[in-house]
């Protein structure tokens, strides 16, 4: 056999996968075109990603591997006899999760596609085959055609980690169809040029001329020894369609940019410039405004000056790494910087890293390699969340300020009311002292009682929001709860008698002393009791109980519960009754300002306690105040 320049094409698809032409016809085309050696390399996809399974359904992956190899063997005999054409069995092993396509040239059997690239290369080598990286870089033709989907789906894992794979792979496709990846020769990697044949017109494209004997082993050796030259094969009369560059109208570009700013500003910080550009290109297409940084310091400068909405952050960067940057952002004084969304990217896949990343303040975390679609989805989700949070915060702020204003107004009005009320009460009392008939006494007593009640309410209101947090002002001490509750019940005796409501008080025999602010707590209990009386119809019943739940070391809680047989609270109100000024929808016929329970809650919180409520409309309610004891048991 003699050594000669062999016209070869080692990347050809047939109807065994997504080629449009059956294998016999493909061999005839190459034979008649005068080729010396070809490899049939139909796709075999992994079965672990949903998209790959779709590709199986669409018939784009070999289904019956045995008949695939049998058929290649059969046609190779016939090709040799008829055209002196060497047909080599191969496969393109594709894994969408791991993001690689690898050609196996001269295979005897299938290679498992459900493994990482190193595993695939290892299996190819065990069979004596060559492992070649398919179309390792992004194709210029995608950009010219504006084919965003292909750009997003293009496998880039091998190229991104070319240092790791340069020793392992036997060659890289320097040309695929009409696309050239000149950078491969600049990096001094071994290469071949193939057509990636799917359709008839793909025959006119870049090919390799290999200097070897027409024999499988010799062809493989020549590739390894770089005895190869590139050649653009142009079939006579073929009508090659040159890719049409998509030219954007100026106006569209302009409006794109405007929208870009509106959809969100994203900073991509990663030292791999290929990756940054690819990501920037794709996100710009989605109308985001993109900033880029290639090291940690540059990223920090841009964060400070541009205040992006989202940061896509690689963990491994020279100088300032991603962990540190993340910490600096979350500890920053400025709210705009502290609130930046962070999506962390890393080649490390350890779960601890992920947890650590989220702990130090990343909002989301992706491990490389990942699919571009997934990244874009997560970016969209994060920005959406950020927008929603911003809106919520604005609404909360405006609500808070309107509540504060309302409170201020009310306090002013209420304060102004107090003096005339006191003088009304005092006048009524003075007149009571004189001899009056029964009816007049009743009226005057009513005026006096009402003015007192209102004055007390005024005190509660002024008192409730202003000073509660100033603990120093309110001295805490150990008190006996039972007499305090009894005193409050006595205070309301008259009101309960008027409504013919029986108040039953039960206290456990040994109640520990409770460390608390007596004045506040007694007012809170009084509020709960007077609510129970107010919202319970005539003839009803109120049960008050004090129960200690003591724990070890004199700890534990004490429960003060007030149960009534009143109108109850509607389910839709129950969540809100502790808000200032909120009044239940079934209770509007009673007087009130909706401030009592908010005061109670503030007092309970101040004591580190909790207030619970259970209620059934038209049956009654139970309010339970749970207070920590922190005192000695009184036996
Ligand atoms: P107010 O009594 O002035 O309306 P509160 O803050 O004391 O305001 O109570 C808020 C709301 O909670 C009341 O309007 C009422 O709807 C409901 N509520 C409070 N206590 C009871 C109770 N014991 N029975 C039924 N509803 C109650």
Q: Is the pLDDT of residue 632 over 70?
A: no
Q: What is the per-residue pLDDT across 444-456, written as a single tens digit (0 to 9) for each?
A: 888 888 887 787 7
549 CA → ligand 1 middle, Å: 27
- Does position 358 have pLDDT exceeding 90, yes or no? no
Atom of ligand 1 nearest to the CA of 567: 25
pLDDT score at 362: 85
CA distances from 406 to 62, 65, 211, 455 (A): 73, 77, 90, 20
In terms of Cα–Cα distance, which of 104, 107, 86 is closest to 8? 86
Q: What is residue 109's DSSP assignment? A: S
Name the pLDDT band for 262 (thresholds 50, 70, 90).
low
Pocket flag, ligand 1, residue 530 (CB < 6 Å): no
Say if CB 202 and CB 19 are below 8 A apart: no
pLDDT digits (tens, 9 = 90+) for 389-429: 888 888 888 888 888 787 777 777 776 777 778 778 778 87
Whether 528 lines ligand 1, by a CB cut-off of 6 Å, is: no
Alpha-carbon distance of 61 to 283, in angstroms, equals: 30
Write 365-369 long-range contacts (CB < 8 A, 24+).
368/160, 369/98, 369/99, 369/156, 369/157, 369/160
What local confidence, expressed as pLDDT, does residue 463 receive?
59
Asked if pLDDT for residue 46 goes beyond 80, the answer is: yes
User: What share of the chain in percent tops pLDDT 70?
Assistant: 91
Q: Ligand 1: which residue has its CA nearest to atom 27?
A: 569
Instruction: Tell me: pLDDT of 531 over 60.
Output: yes
CA 28: distance to chain centroid? 54
Other beta carbons within 10 Å of 244: 10
Please provide residue 403's backbone torsions phi and psi, each rounded to the nearest 5 degrees. -65, -45
Look at the pTM and tell me if it is higher than 0.75. Answer: no
> Which residues neighbour 400 within 8 Å (Cβ) at sequence distance 6 or greater?
none
Q: Distance between CA atoms of 451 and 367, rounded to whole angstroms?
A: 70
DSSP E strand stretches across 13-77: 37-45
Q: Is 567 in the pocket of ligand 1 (CB under 6 A)?
A: yes
CA of 451 to the centre of ligand 1 (A): 21
* Ligand 1 mutation pick, 565, 583, 599, max ligand atoms within 8 A of CB: 583
Per-residue confidence (pLDDT) for residue 399, from 0 to 100: 83
Q: Pairing mode, if any, of strands 205-212 and 228-233? A: antiparallel
What ligand 1 atom has the least distance to the C-alpha of 597?
A: 6
Which position has the higher pLDDT, 101 or 256? 101
- Encode pLDDT of 315-336 as tens digits: 877 777 788 888 889 888 888 8
Structure token pair of residue 439: 């009816």
| CA–CA gap between residue 621 and residue 612 (Å, rounded) | 11
């Amino acid at each position: 056999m003699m050594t000669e320049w062999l016209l070869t094409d080692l990347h050809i698809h047939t109807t065994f996968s997504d080629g449009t032409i059956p294998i016999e016809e493909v061999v005839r085309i190459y034979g008649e075109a005068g080729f010396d050696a070809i490899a049939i390399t139909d796709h075999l996809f992994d079965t672990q990603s949903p998209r790959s399974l779709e590709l199986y359904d669409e018939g784009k992956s070999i289904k019956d591997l045995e008949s695939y190899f049998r058929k290649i063997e059969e046609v190779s005999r016939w090709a040799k006899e008829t055209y002196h054409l060497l047909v080599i069995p191969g496969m393109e092993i594709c894994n969408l999760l791991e993001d690689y396509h690898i050609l196996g040239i001269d295979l005897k059997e299938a290679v498992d596609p459900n493994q990482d690239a190193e595993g695939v290369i290892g299996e190819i080598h065990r069979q004596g085959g060559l492992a070649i990286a398919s179309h390792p870089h992004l194709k210029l033709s995608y950009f010219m055609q504006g084919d965003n989907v292909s750009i997003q789906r293009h496998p880039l894992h091998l190229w991104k980690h070319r240092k790791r794979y340069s020793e392992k792979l036997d060659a890289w496709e320097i040309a695929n169809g009409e696309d050239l990846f000149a950078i491969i020769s600049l990096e001094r990697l071994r290469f071949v040029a193939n057509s990636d044949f799917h359709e008839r017109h793909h025959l006119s494209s870049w090919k390799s001329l290999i200097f070897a004997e027409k024999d499988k082993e010799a062809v493989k050796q020549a590739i390894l020894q770089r005895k190869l030259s590139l050649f653009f094969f142009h079939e006579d009369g073929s009508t090659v369609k040159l890719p049409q560059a998509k030219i954007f109208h100026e106006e569209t570009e302009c409006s794109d940019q405007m929208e870009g700013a509106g959809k969100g500003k994203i900073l991509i910080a990663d030292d791999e410039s290929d990756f940054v550009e690819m990501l920037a290109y794709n996100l710009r297409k989605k109308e985001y405004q993109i900033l880029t940084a290639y090291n940690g310091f540059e990223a920090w400068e841009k964060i400070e000056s541009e205040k992006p909405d989202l940061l896509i952050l690689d963990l491994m960067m020279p100088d300032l790494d991603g962990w540190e940057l993340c910490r600096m952002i979350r500890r920053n004084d400025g709210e705009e910087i502290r609130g930046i969304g962070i999506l962390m990217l890393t080649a490390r896949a350890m779960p601890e890293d992920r947890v650590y990343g989220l702990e130090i303040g990343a909002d989301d975390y992706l491990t490389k390699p990942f699919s571009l679609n997934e990244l874009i989805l997560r970016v969209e989700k994060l920005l959406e969340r950020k927008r929603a949070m911003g809106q919520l915060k604005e609404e909360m702020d405006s609500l808070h300020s309107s509540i504060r204003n309302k409170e201020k107004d009310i306090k002013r009005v209420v304060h102004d009311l107090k003096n005339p009320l006191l003088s009304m009460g005092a006048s009524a009392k003075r007149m009571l002292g004189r001899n009056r008939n029964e009816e007049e006494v009743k009226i005057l007593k009513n005026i006096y009682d009402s003015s007192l009640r209102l004055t007390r309410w005024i005190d509660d209101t002024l008192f409730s929001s202003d000073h509660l947090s100033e603990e120093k002002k309110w001295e805490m001490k150990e008190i006996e709860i039972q007499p305090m509750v009894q005193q409050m019940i006595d205070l309301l005796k008259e009101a309960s008698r008027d409504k013919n409501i029986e108040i039953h008080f039960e206290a456990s025999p040994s109640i520990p002393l409770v460390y608390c602010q007596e004045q506040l707590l007694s007012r809170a209990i009084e509020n709960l009791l007077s609510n129970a009386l107010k919202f319970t119809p005539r003839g009803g019943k109120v049960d008050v109980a004090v129960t200690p739940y003591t724990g070890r070391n004199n700890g534990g809680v004490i429960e003060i519960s007030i149960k009534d047989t009143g109108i109850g609270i509607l389910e839709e109100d129950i969540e809100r009754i502790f808000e200032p000024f909120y009044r239940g929808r079934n209770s509007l016929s009673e007087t009130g300002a909706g401030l009592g329970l908010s005061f109670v809650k503030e007092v309970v919180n101040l004591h580190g306690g909790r207030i619970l409520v259970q209620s059934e409309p038209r049956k009654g309610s139970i309010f339970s105040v749970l207070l920590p004891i922190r005192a000695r048991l009184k036996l």
